[in-house]
């Protein structure tokens, strides 16, 4: 899923400092799963904003709404007739949400309340880690099912580098060296031969480096 985290309250309060009435819009997709921007989190943020402005003697009216998703125009349409009522709209979706809302309501001031961090999954309840870099050409089967592009700090295809120590990456003891894991896994599977050949240089043009990407499915277009 897309994993995101709410921005610090000070940053969000600064966004709405000149407003009297705002709408906080949540999303039932990824951000609900990672407890960042679902219905619950919308309620919490709305309450915090009200309390903060209460304290300053400058009340802020905060309405709450959660959409199915904010990455399909059909769901954004549900804001029709409402968007104009607010000084500002705060999206609690990943950064895609505010872009969609902004696009449909060009006169509205739309703000992101989350920082979209990475593509990843949960390790345990309350802990998420990065697993994918959306490089556009998945080859994890060549690495024992692990992704060196996303999980190696240097995206090495022929790792590990000389900084791997005690199974940890040189940048932090909290970061596993994925190449250590790859080597161990392939050793366990008796498939070390997968690492003897030199992995060829990556074609990064399928990644962000090639420019903003788009997928067109002719079989699905109406």
Per DSSP, the three-state class of 81 is coil
Measuring CA to CA, how many Å separate 145 from each of 9, 76, 179, 182, 197? 39, 37, 12, 8, 17
Strand-strand pairing, 88-91 and 21-27: parallel
Q: Are 34 and 3 in contact (CB under 8 A)?
A: yes
Minimum CB distance to other proteins, residue 160 (Å): 7
User: Other C-beta atoms within 10 Å of 138: how many?
Assistant: 12
Structure token pair of residue 144: 């024992």
DSSP category for residue 20: S
Under rule CB under 8 A, residue 140 binds other proteins: no
Minimum CB distance to other proteins, residue 98 (Å): 23
Q: Which stretch binds other proteins (CB under 8 A): 18-26, 52-60, 69-77, 91-99?
A: 52-60
Under rule CB under 8 A, residue 120 binds other proteins: no
Query: Looking at beta carbons only, is 123 or 171 nearer to other proteins?
Result: 171
Under rule CB under 8 A, residue 180 binds other proteins: yes
110-112 β-sheet, strand order:
61-67, 21-27, 88-91, 110-112
Q: Which stretch binds other proteins (CB under 8 A): 25-33, 99-107, 128-136, 176-184?
A: 176-184
Under rule CB under 8 A, residue 21 binds other proteins: no
DSSP category for residue 176: B
Contact with other proteins (CB under 8 A) among 106, 162, 190, 212: 162
Minimum CB distance to other proteins, residue 168 (Å): 9
CA 220 to CA 222: how far, in whole Å?
6
Site for other proteins in 186-215 (CB under 8 A): 187, 192, 195-202, 204
Under rule CB under 8 A, residue 77 binds other proteins: no
Query: Looking at beta carbons only, is 80 or 209 nearer to other proteins?
Result: 209
Under rule CB under 8 A, residue 83 binds other proteins: no
Question: Peptide bond before 172: cis, by omega within 30 degrees of 0?
Answer: no
Per DSSP, the three-state class of 86 is coil
CA 95 to CA 37: how far, in whole Å?
11
Minimum CB distance to other proteins, residue 217 (Å): 31
Where does this chain bind other proteins (CB under 8 A)?
8-10, 40, 43-44, 47-48, 50-52, 54-55, 57, 59, 153-167, 170-171, 177, 180, 183-184, 187, 192, 195-202, 204
């Amino acid at each position: 899923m897309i994993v995101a985290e709410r921005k610090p309250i000070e940053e969000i309060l600064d966004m709405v400092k000149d407003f009297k009435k705002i709408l906080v819009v949540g999303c039932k997709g990824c951000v609900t799963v990672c407890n960042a921007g679902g219905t619950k989190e919308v309620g919490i943020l709305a309450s915090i904003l009200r309390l903060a402005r209460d304290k300053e003697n400058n009340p802020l009216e905060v309405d709450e709404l959660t959409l199915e998703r904010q990455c399909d125009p059909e769901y954004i349409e549900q804001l029709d007739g409402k968007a104009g009522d607010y000084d500002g709209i705060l999206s609690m979706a990943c950064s895609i949400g505010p872009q969609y809302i902004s696009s449909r309501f060009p006169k509205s001031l739309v703000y992101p309340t989350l920082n979209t961090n990475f593509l990843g999954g949960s390790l345990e309840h309350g802990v998420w880690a990065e697993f994918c870099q959306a490089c556009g050409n998945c080859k994890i089967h060549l690495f024992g099912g692990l992704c060196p592009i996303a999980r190696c700090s240097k995206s090495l295809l022929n790792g590990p580098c000389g900084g791997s120590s005690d199974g940890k990456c040189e940048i932090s003891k909290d970061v596993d060296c994925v190449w250590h894991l790859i080597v161990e896994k392939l050793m366990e599977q008796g498939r070390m031969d997968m690492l003897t050949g030199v992995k060829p240089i990556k074609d990064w043009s399928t990644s962000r480096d090639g420019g903003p990407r788009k997928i067109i499915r002719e079989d699905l277009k109406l």
